[in-house]
Chains A and B, each alone.
Chain A
Amino acid sequence: MDNKAGDKQVKTKIPNEIGLIKADYRGRPSTLCQGCGHNSISSQIVAALYELSIPPEQIIKMSGIGCSSKSPTYILSRSFGFNSLHGRMPTVTTGAVMVNHSLKAIGISGDGDTASIGFSHFKNVVRRNVPMVYIIENNGVYGLTKGQFSATADKGLELKDAGVNPFMPIDICMEALISGAGFVARSFAGDPHQVKELLKAAIHFQGTAVLDIVSPCVTFDNREGSSKSYRWGRSRKEPLHDITWVPKREEIQIELEPGEALDVDMHDGSQIRFRKLAHDYDPTDRMSALKLLEDSRNRGVLITGLVYINEETPPLDETENLVDLPLTQLSDDALRPSKETLDAFIERYR
């Protein structure tokens, strides 16, 4: 409806597999601060979906309240969007995808939205394994209300108006893991390539894919020493692996030396390929993942990559044993039992 807005930014007019150009995936111009990490993540969402050739009409972009929750406006103008209530994005998304499981839900949340006011919804959406991509644009601060600490702010962090934070931060990846998440990733807005590959993998994950992306707030929390600053991210970033999402059809084309990479098969036939870097890390082992998070906190580093992957838990639509056709597409006959059924059924109340 409003593609014109993005036309200026068009870098490529090459149509993807479904004949859409990148501009077809763009949104309205961002009104976030210049240099905000969220804008860089928005660009990668656009790029990933364009490259994956997913019809924008199939996507729903969901959010709560906050700077992060504004960003769905700046992507995918041809997708349906719902800017809902503070912290409640997971609940609205659950309802929407359960009645129409052909929709691909991308939830964009922030650390206030997810780790404070909507914490219970976050934990429960993960526990239920609702099919969705759950992005947390994590900057440790409330931006839209101007600079209060969030629950992920570092202990001892000093902010202009808020003073010194006396509390330990909540680790969103850790919380996701202990709630039973099957896809837990941590990344950095300043590493666009990794963000994009993680997004591609997340979209192909059958349940809740949690992406905790450190996304610096240039206005309120980009100070030296903050673990949510650009400087920290760039200097203390430790990628676990070089990650690539490989579509099903390319399976045979890429050949690697044995031992060089780990391939994890996804439910839909695609693969996530991990090329080893400094770490010898197995993202399919939950205990290692917990240990890794605790260890990286102690060492004061930002580990990035896919912390954990496991597709054993069925997504909620499968747990609920739903019919294949989306519930919203069922005919009236399928929804309303017959008069004979009613008449027979009420006999039990005589």
Chain B
Amino acid sequence: MNIKAAENEVQATDAAQKKIVNDFSMVIATVNGSGSQTANLALIRALFRMGIPVSGKNLFPSNIKGMPTYFTVRANKDGFTARREKMEILIGMNPETFDEDLKDLVEGGVCFYPDQFEVPETRDDVVFYPVPVKQIIKEQNPPRTLVNYMRNMVYVGVVSEMLGIEIGEIREALETHFKGREKSVELNMQIVDASALWARENLFKVDKYVVERDNQTEGMIMLDGNTAGALGTIFGGISFIAWYPITPGSSLAEALQSHLPRLRKDEETGKQTYAIIQAEDELAAIGMIVGAGWAGARAMTSTSGPGLALMAEFSGLAYYTEIPIVIWDVQRMGPSTGLPTRTSQGDILFTRFLGHGDTQQIMLIPGNIEECFEFGWRSFDIAERLQAPIFVLSDLDLGMNLWMSKPFDYPDQPMDRGKVLTAEDLEKIEEFARYRDVDGDGIPYRTLPGTDHPKAAYFLRGSGHDEKAFYSERPEDYVANLKRLALKYETAREYMPKPVIEETEGATVGLIAYGSVDPAVKEALSRLATEGMKIDYLRLRAVPFTNDVQEFIRKHDRVYVVEMNTNGQMHMLLRLEVPDQATKLISLAHNDGLPMSAHWVTQAVLELEGGNDGQ
């Protein structure tokens, strides 16, 4: 075929001996807007259906067409699916970045590329497979409008053939993707089959990477966190959503928009049992859900950092007026533009105190897809129980990328609508006072607008009110109210999801992390274990912290706090929680826009622990 292919042949015997099964990171480098999504999804879904643990991460620019985009598929027999800093396989479809992309390939890595690209001299340690994309497309002659998409199906066919991805599973994946539109499936499969055949007849397998059927994904599902979160809120009885478009928060609201009509239509009338409004800005979005939450509905918005910044005033108002609402913050880097489509855990401190005055907000932090679903419904129970805004802090990596998950558990308890007094309840009591602590837990009783009883009404305003919600500027009223709110925040701890703790016999070192860094941490801990390091792991799932967090810190000699921001935001909150233990807490904070890698965590711990070992 050409010189590269001939060189490959020589290495063939070598490779066969050292084959690497189900363990690689594959990067598909394309130009954004070139329609590679169908092809990429077909590859990852086929691997998933073959029983191999996978993850799919889309690294995309803040742009619509023309800039480089990367889709990374990590397949790993041990179930580690965090981002890898290096790749084993490159599908280089972007001529602009081709030379640069090659740099990240490991020694012995593989590169598939359109045969018109020139291969630089720099990587003679890499196996190159040139693919005649143009020629295959020309021969198959797909409809002119689909040529761009079909070009991507060429690499699907070639890569499948060379790695051993079952073509039958590619077909199944396409059938899922096109939801039974047979014609589209056939068109794509024609290119896939032709390309696979071409590879069989023209390429010699000389690299080490192969795929073999396994059974590790049996019963599992694969989706993104925003879709999971949206489904969670639907099964949590959401009835009002207001939102404003922002990456990466939009796709949560859009998932609601696409699934609610199917799941929440009144069967008799065909009418909606929910309302969804695309607001004029984030101020309006949160204002609307505050109104809806006050009126007694389960109301939510989804946003990201810049939107959250605009929601600050209403967040404080909702805290002081004690209105249950749920705000999903799918975190990204910020502010403004530059890295808006990159992931981060940078809103922790901002959210914790969001609002002016003495606000203390509640955060739920999902660390995987199941928890996105679970916190989706549970957040409403907690919000209505505590009569408070609940912030669910996800991030772009968890929210928009493809993760494997166990199928979702149906909510294990009926909806908790909290302390609401009906007209009948009001009939039985002497007096209703909206902000009186009747039960001693800091949580007052509320009535819903429209409750048909002369005692029901109250007037809501921000900071200055007495127990009966009357306007008050009396110092003692303000102080008493804030004291009750502080007590309520203590009560809130009981309702928070507990952290997930993984202990190792004999460990004296601890590590705390949260959210989407979980896979990277788990992989790092496994590597550190092979170095003989015993480390206990606590994954936070909520703020305020439950008592387990304090206990965990107290019983370890030192505790690393791994997180994806630069200032070590959770580290700061933990130090506030246990000031007498503050020096034990060591911040391992890192954020460069990319999802956390096991390599970074391993290195960071090794560097510090190595020092300790030496002493």
Measured CB to CB, the residues of A under 8 A from B are 1-2, 55-58, 60, 72-73, 77-85, 88, 90-100, 102-103, 120-121, 123-124, 128, 317, 320-324, 326-328, 330, 332, 334-337, 339, 341-343, 345-346, 348-350
Contacts and interface: CB of A to CB of B under 8 A. Distances in A.
Contact of A342 (B235, B237, B458): B235
B272 A320 contact: yes
Interface string B267-281: 001011111110111
A79 B457 CA distance: 5
CB-based closest 7 A-B pairs: A91-B287, A95-B291, A335-B237, A95-B292, A99-B297, A92-B291, A95-B288
B176 interface: yes
Query: How big is the B interface, by class?
Result: 35 or more
Given A95-B299, A100-B295, A88 B271 contact: no
Contacts of A88: 283-284, 287, 314
A337 B264 contact: yes
A82 B457 contact: no
B223 interface: yes
A322 B271 contact: yes
B590 interface: no
B221 interface: yes
Contacts of A339: 410
A322 B275 contact: yes
Given A1-B468, A94-B277, A327-B297, A337 B263 contact: yes
A60 B271 CA distance: 25
Given A2-B470, A85-B313, 14 more contacts: A80-B459, A91-B283, A97-B291, A98-B275, A100-B297, A120-B280, A124-B280, A320-B276, A332-B414, A335-B273, A336-B235, A336-B415, A342-B235, A349-B223
B28 interface: no
Contacts of A348: 176
B611 interface: no
Contacts of B299: 95, 99
Nearest to B457: A80
Nearest to A91: B287
Contact of B290 (A81, A92, A343, A349): A92
Given A72-B459, A328-B296, A349-B223, A100 B449 contact: yes
Contacts of A79: 457
Contact of A121 (B271, B284, B408, B455): B284
23 contacts: A1-B457, A1-B458, A77-B457, A83-B461, A84-B290, A85-B313, A88-B284, A94-B284, A95-B289, A100-B296, A100-B449, A100-B450, A102-B450, A120-B284, A320-B272, A323-B266, A323-B272, A327-B275, A328-B450, A330-B239, A336-B237, A345-B262, A348-B176
A335 B298 contact: yes
B293 interface: yes
A81 B292 CA distance: 14
B444 interface: no
B296 A93 contact: no
Contacts of A77: 457
Interface string B402-436: 00000110110011000000000000000000000
A343 B407 CA distance: 8
B460 interface: yes
Given A73-B471, A332-B414, A336-B236, A92 B288 contact: yes
B240 A327 contact: yes
A90 to B, nearest CB: 8
B378 to A, nearest CB: 13
B43 interface: no
Given A336-B235, A349-B221, A99 B295 contact: yes
A95 B287 contact: yes
B520 interface: no
B335 interface: no
A133 to B, nearest CB: 16
Contacts of A90: 284, 287
Q: Which of B240, B271, B295, B470 has the most CB of A within 10 A?
A: B295
Contact of A96 (B266, B449, B470): B449
A348 B221 CA distance: 8
B298 to A, nearest CB: 7
A322 B281 CA distance: 23
Contacts of A342: 231, 235, 408, 410
Nearest to A120: B280
Given A85-B317, A341-B263, A78 B457 contact: yes
Given A100-B296, A342-B408, A326 B450 contact: yes
A78 B459 CA distance: 9
B222 interface: yes
B31 interface: no
Nearest to B449: A80
Contacts of B280: 120-121, 123-124
Contacts of B222: 349-350
Contacts of A60: 295, 449-450
A330 B273 contact: yes
A337 B234 contact: yes
Q: Name, among B287, B458, B462, the residue most crowded by chain A CB atoms within 10 Å (CB to CB).
A: B287
Interface string B7-39: 000000000000000000000000000000000
Contacts of B288: 91-92, 94-95, 98
B454 interface: yes
Contact of B291 (A2, A94, A317): A94
Contacts of A120: 280-281, 284
A83 B460 contact: yes
Contacts of B295: 60, 95-97, 99-100, 103, 328
B550 interface: no
Contacts of A330: 239, 273
A2 B286 CA distance: 31
Contacts of B89: none
B448 interface: yes
B391 interface: no
